[in-house]
Amino acid sequence: MRSFNGIWIPAVCVIIVLGLIQVTGCGKKTPLDLPEKPGQAMAAPENVKAVVTDTHLTLTWTHEPDPKDAVLAPAYFEVSMAMPEDCEGCPFVFQTVGQVDMPRMVFEMSLPDTTRSLYFRVQAVGENDVRSEYSSTVLVEEN
């Protein structure tokens, strides 16, 4: 009986340790996926266009609800801008630069004094912070 206990206790300890490792995982948390009913989503803005006059930017876009998959109407649109980093291959970091209330779909701003390219995208936002996918990204190259 004594030799059985000598094997049994270390085996149980190994099983417990392996179980704890599996339960704890890598520690990364993923965003919470909210339940979604068919049609209870919001369509992304489309046809984003940029017009630059001197140092003034005007962005325009369209937004049409999808009668089948995305019927929610936005309360406003959020405009984000990113400047490419100085290092090659670094990711763009988009930051919100403005908000446009419905039904207006025009955003205007003065461009910063840089000679860099700027990237813009638009997202529709509705009640309870329901958000659409982002629009396609528009590149604005400054002279």
For the segment 50-83, what is each residue's pLDDT rounded down to a tens digit? Answer: 998 888 889 999 998 877 777 788 999 999 998 7
- Nearest-angstrom CA–CA distance, 46 and 95: 19
Helix (H, G, I), strand (E, B) or coil at 94: coil
Mean per-residue pLDDT for 133-138? 93
pLDDT score of 34 more than 60: no
Domains, in order of start, for the chain: 46-141 (2.60.40.10)
Closest CA to 94 of 107, 105, 85, 106: 85
In this prediction, residue 1 has a pLDDT band, given cuts at 50, 70 and 90, of very low
pLDDT of residue 141: 81
Give the least confident one: 1-5, 38-42, 79-83, 89-93: 1-5
Residue 90: exposure state from Cβ atoms within 10 A (0-12, 13-18, ≥19): exposed
